[in-house]
């Protein structure tokens, strides 16, 4: 098992988190170095550990090698989709045959890149995937509430608009991206807050969002953390 390589961003807005699965050390080291300029990278050298991580925490994008020891990349992608994880996935493959590429896309990958690849193209593919994913996710429903992250707006069942602050929006966007996931306070701090914030910041902003909307918009899971509520 490889320990995840976690690289934090610096600044007011957390860098997007990327799951990278590659078993070849030399390639992995280069790719992690390049991607860490723009992402917080969790690197695993096998599909089993990567799957465990993806089931426990949300990712903004994933890069998965097709040929892995044990469970291969296409099976990992299929299992992620079966688990209702809709994060955009770029599949890396040394196999140039059309049938191999089709297998990966049919399994649930959003795009593929054939090895060897240019790092600029890798970055461009990831940017395109994230743009497409954000476009598809512009409108999110929380019960009868409509949430549009790009405008920092929530619309009540009666049509009343609630405007969120930047910090409130980052928190709710993270929760709504994985509505069934129970987030620990540490995960929310890591994914939606600037470095140096304490656990109390999570509770404070959960309270702010609830006070603007309804308490049921965010559910407290006793002893574990928070998840998106039903908005009823």
CATH number, residue 120: 3.40.50.2300
**Prediction pTM value:** 0.61
* pLDDT value of residue 51: 94
Token look-up 């429903």 returns 141
Task: Tell me, yes or no, whether 186 lies in a domain.
Answer: yes
Q: Which of 90, 120, 136 is the last residue of a domain?
A: 136
Same-domain status, 119 and 214:
no
Task: Tell me, yes or no, whether 48 lies in a domain.
Answer: yes
Same-domain status, 130 and 152:
no
- Nearest-5° angle of CA 108, CA 105, CA 59? 45
Same-domain status, 82 and 110:
yes
Token look-up 């300029």 returns 37
* pLDDT value of residue 199: 83
Task: Tell me, yes or no, whether 12 lies in a domain.
Answer: no
3-class SS at 2? Answer: coil
Task: Tell me, yes or no, whether 2 lies in a domain.
Answer: no
Gap between the Cα atoms of 177 and 150, Å rounded: 13
Same-domain status, 24 and 50:
yes
Determine if the peptide bond prior to 91 is cis (ω within 30°): no
Domain that holds residue 122: 17-136
Residues in the chain where the model's pLDDT stays below 50: 1, 3-12
Same-domain status, 41 and 99:
yes
Same-domain status, 26 and 130:
yes
Task: Tell me, yes or no, whether 10 lies in a domain.
Answer: no
Number of domains observed in the structure of the chain: 2
Task: Tell me, yes or no, whether 4 lies in a domain.
Answer: no
Q: What is the 3-state secondary structure (H, E, C) of 87-125?
A: CCEEEEECCCCHHHHHHHHHCCCCEEEECCCCHHHHHHH
Same-domain status, 128 and 46:
yes
* pLDDT value of residue 13: 57
Q: Which of 81, 103, 136 is the last residue of a domain?
A: 136
60 burial level (CB within 10 Å; 0-12, 13-18, 19+): buried
* pLDDT value of residue 201: 94
* pLDDT value of residue 218: 96
Tokens of 81: 């989709």
Computed on alpha carbons and rounded to an integer, the radius of gyration of the chain in Å comes to 18
Task: Tell me, yes or no, whether 60 lies in a domain.
Answer: yes
Q: Which of 75, 101, 136 is the last residue of a domain?
A: 136
Q: What is the 3-state secondary structure (H, E, C) of 178-194?
A: CCCCCECHHHHHHHHCC
How would you classify the pairing of strands 153-155 and 145-148?
antiparallel
Same-domain status, 159 and 75:
no
Tokens of 182: 């129970």
Task: Tell me, yes or no, whether 9 lies in a domain.
Answer: no
* pLDDT value of residue 231: 77
Same-domain status, 130 and 185:
no
Same-domain status, 21 and 132:
yes
CATH number, residue 164: 1.10.10.10
Cα–Cα distance list, 15 to 168, 195, 210 (Å): 17, 11, 26
Same-domain status, 201 and 117:
no
Same-domain status, 191 and 102:
no
How do residues 13-55 score in pLDDT, each as one tens digit? 578 899 999 999 999 999 999 999 999 999 999 999 999 998 8
Tokens of 115: 């090895």
Contact in structure between 176 and 147 (CB atoms under 8 Å): yes
- Mean pLDDT across the chain, nearest whole number? 87
Q: Going edge to edge, which strands form the sheet with 61-65?
A: 40-44, 17-21, 61-65, 89-93, 111-114
């Amino acid at each position: 098992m490889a320990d995840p390589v976690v690289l934090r961003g610096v600044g007011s807005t957390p860098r997007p988190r990327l799951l990278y699965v590659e078993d070849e050390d030399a390639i992995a080291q280069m790719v992690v170095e390049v991607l860490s300029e723009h992402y917080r990278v969790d690197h695993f050298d096998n599909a089993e550990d990567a799957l465990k991580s993806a089931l426990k925490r949300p990712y903004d994008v994933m890069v998965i090698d097709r040929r892995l020891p044990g469970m291969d990349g296409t099976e990992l992608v299929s299992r992620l989709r079966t688990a209702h994880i809709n994060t955009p996935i770029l599949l890396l493959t040394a196999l140039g045959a059309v049938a191999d590429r089709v297998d990966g896309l049919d399994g649930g990958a959003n795009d593929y890149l054939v090895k060897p690849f240019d790092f600029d193209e890798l970055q461009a593919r990831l940017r395109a995937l994230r743009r497409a994913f954000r476009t598809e996710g512009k409108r999110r429903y929380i019960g009868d509430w409509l949430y549009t992250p790009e405008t920092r707006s929530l619309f009540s069942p009666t049509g009343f608009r609630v405007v969120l602050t930047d910090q409130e929006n980052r928190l709710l966007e993270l929760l709504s991206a994985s509505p069934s996931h129970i987030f620990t306070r540490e995960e929310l701090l890591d994914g939606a807050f600037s470095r140096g914030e304490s656990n109390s910041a999570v509770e404070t902003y959960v309270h702010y969002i609830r006070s603007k909307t309804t308490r049921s918009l965010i559910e407290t899971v006793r002893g574990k953390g928070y998840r998106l509520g039903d908005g009823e």
